[in-house]
């Protein structure tokens, strides 16, 4: 009996030692590969990464968590960037990808070199990588479902899309298309790419408006609502219901219109702080934890009832946000 107890004690001690070894990621280096920073969401995403990872490095959780952004939104440039990160000896690369599949070759190179790859927001389809995303298709459907409740008779819609060729743009567009198919009282009569940036959206909407009939609502992807509102105002056309994307200028404009004339809409987007969740997921994998290849996080929705608080709590030029801790990441991984 004593011998059995000693064996058990030794086994437990060995497990603890192994666990401690897995838990020590202080010598590991994680890099962020980002393909684009030309809008407020991407800038907020990078700011969240910097804030959370700097503390993680200072606390000795990891040795480094450097961020790299390409100068242009080009797959070839991001692929070259990732190849450089492989050569620099990073243990994990967290990617916001320019394309869901065009980077798969270089992602496979990283995996073959023993590097953990975690994609988020703009995810990759290479099986060796992990993916952290919201259900963007559901987000697109939600916009049309909201409009169907608000205006049962339907009407003409203008669609503002994001960056062409990016997974996020394709998925939200597909969700909007599904929503319109399920609610045929709505018809998309025009579509432009706003690149998730207010200035681009304003210019593109202004360019297409003269050719469009009456617009009842504008379905969007985020970073384009305020620009759309400005374009309608400049054209002297009635302001339709514009779905917003959690940017501060959108929320402030919405609040002002609500106070002035009771304007109603909704807002939804992925929180920029999802980059911090991807960081902690990468750290957990380096730590030897079992993590599902695909993780889904909820998108952040703002409704009429909480627009005042949301507008007040979102910093000027920023985006309504949620940042994640290691404990938060563990709950997401556990499906809680």
Could you tell me if residue 192 is inside a domain? Answer: yes
Same domain, 141 and 265: yes
DSSP state for residue 305 in the 8-state scheme? G
Mean pLDDT to the nearest integer, 84-109: 96
Residue 245's domain spans which residues? 136-269
CA gap 117, 277 in Å, rounded: 14
How many domains does the chain divide into? 2
Q: How confident is the model at residue 335 (pLDDT cuts 50, 70, 90)?
A: confident
Same domain, 119 and 92: yes
pLDDT of residue 72: 83
| For the chain, percent of residues with pLDDT exceeding 90 | 85
Could you tell me if residue 335 is inside a domain? Answer: no
Inform me whether the pLDDT recorded for 12 exceeds 50: no
Domain edge (last residue) among 250, 269, 288: 269
Q: What is the pTM of this model?
A: 0.83
Same domain, 256 and 143: yes
Same domain, 43 and 109: yes
Strand partners, 331: none
pLDDT of residue 71: 87
Same domain, 70 and 87: yes
pLDDT of residue 11: 38
Same domain, 251 and 145: yes
pLDDT of residue 111: 98
Inform me whether the pLDDT recorded for 253 exceeds 80: yes
Mean pLDDT to the nearest integer, 202-219: 98
Q: How confident is the model at residue 21 (pLDDT cuts 50, 70, 90)?
A: very low
CA gap 336, 24 in Å, rounded: 25
Same domain, 106 and 140: no
CA gap 143, 236 in Å, rounded: 25
Could you tell me if residue 330 is inside a domain? Answer: no
Same domain, 141 and 242: yes
Side-chain half-sphere exposure of 251, counting CA atoms within 13 A: 28
Mean pLDDT to the nearest integer, 44-67: 97
Same domain, 146 and 114: no
Could you tell me if residue 105 is inside a domain? Answer: yes
Same domain, 212 and 141: yes
Q: Using one digit for the tens of pLDDT, what is the confidence trace for 116-130?
A: 999 999 999 999 999
CA gap 150, 88 in Å, rounded: 53
Same domain, 156 and 258: yes
Inform me whether the pLDDT recorded for 19 exceeds 80: no
pLDDT of residue 23: 54
Q: Using one digit for the tens of pLDDT, what is the confidence trace for 147-190?
A: 999 999 999 999 999 999 888 999 999 999 999 999 999 999 99
Q: Using one digit for the tens of pLDDT, what is the confidence trace for 268-315?
A: 999 999 999 999 999 999 999 999 999 999 889 999 999 999 999 999
> What CATH code is carried by the domain that includes residue 282?
3.40.50.2300
pLDDT of residue 94: 98
Could you tell me if residue 182 is inside a domain? Answer: yes
Could you tell me if residue 71 is inside a domain? Answer: yes
Query: Which residues, 6+ apart, have CB-to-CB distance to 100 below 8 Å?
Result: 122, 123, 124, 125, 166, 167, 170
pLDDT of residue 14: 35
Inform me whether the pLDDT recorded for 114 exceeds 70: yes
Could you tell me if residue 318 is inside a domain? Answer: no
Q: How confident is the prediction for the chain on average, in pLDDT? A: 92
Same domain, 80 and 94: yes
Mean pLDDT to the nearest integer, 259-270: 96
Q: How confident is the model at residue 134 (pLDDT cuts 50, 70, 90)?
A: confident
Q: How confident is the model at residue 16 (pLDDT cuts 50, 70, 90)?
A: very low
Could you tell me if residue 327 is inside a domain? Answer: no
């Amino acid at each position: 009996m004593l011998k059995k107890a000693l064996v058990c004690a030794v086994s437990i001690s060995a497990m603890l030692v192994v666990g401690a070894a897995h838990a020590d990621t202080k010598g590991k280096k994680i890099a962020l590969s980002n393909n684009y920073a030309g809008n407020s969401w991407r800038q907020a995403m990078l700011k969240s990464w910097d804030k959370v990872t700097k503390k993680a490095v200072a606390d000795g959780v990891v040795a480094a968590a450097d961020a790299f952004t390409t100068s242009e939104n080009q797959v070839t440039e991001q692929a070259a960037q990732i190849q450089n990160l492989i050569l620099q000896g990073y243990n994990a690369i967290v990617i916001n990808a320019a394309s869901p599949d065009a980077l798969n070759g270089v992602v496979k190179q990283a995996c073959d070199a023993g590097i953990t790859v975690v994609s988020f927001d703009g995810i990759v389809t290479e099986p060796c990588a992990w993916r952290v995303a919201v259900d963007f298709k559901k987000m697109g459907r939600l916009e049309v479902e909201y409009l169907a409740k608000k205006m049962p008779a339907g009407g003409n819609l203008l669609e503002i899309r994001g960056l062409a060729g990016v997974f996020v743009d394709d998925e939200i567009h597909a969700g909007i298309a599904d929503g319109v198919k399920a609610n045929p009282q709505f018809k998309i009569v025009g579509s432009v790419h706003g690149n998730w940036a207010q200035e681009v959206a304003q210019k593109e909407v202004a360019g297409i408006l003269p050719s469009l009939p009456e617009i009842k609502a504008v379905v969007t992807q985020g970073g384009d609502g305020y620009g759309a509102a400005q374009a309608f105002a400049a054209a002297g056309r009635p302001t339709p219901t514009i779905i917003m994307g959690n940017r501060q200028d959108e929320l402030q404009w919405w609040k002002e219109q609500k106070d002035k004339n009771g304007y109603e809409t909704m807002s939804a987007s992925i929180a920029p702080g999802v980059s911090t969740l991807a960081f902690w997921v990468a750290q957990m994998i380096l730590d030897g934890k079992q993590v599902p290849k695909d993780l889904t996080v909820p998108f952040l929705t703002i409704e009429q009832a909480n627009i005042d608080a949301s507008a007040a709590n979102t910093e000027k030029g920023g985006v309504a946000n949620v940042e994640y801790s290691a404990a938060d990441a563990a709950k997401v991984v556990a499906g809680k």
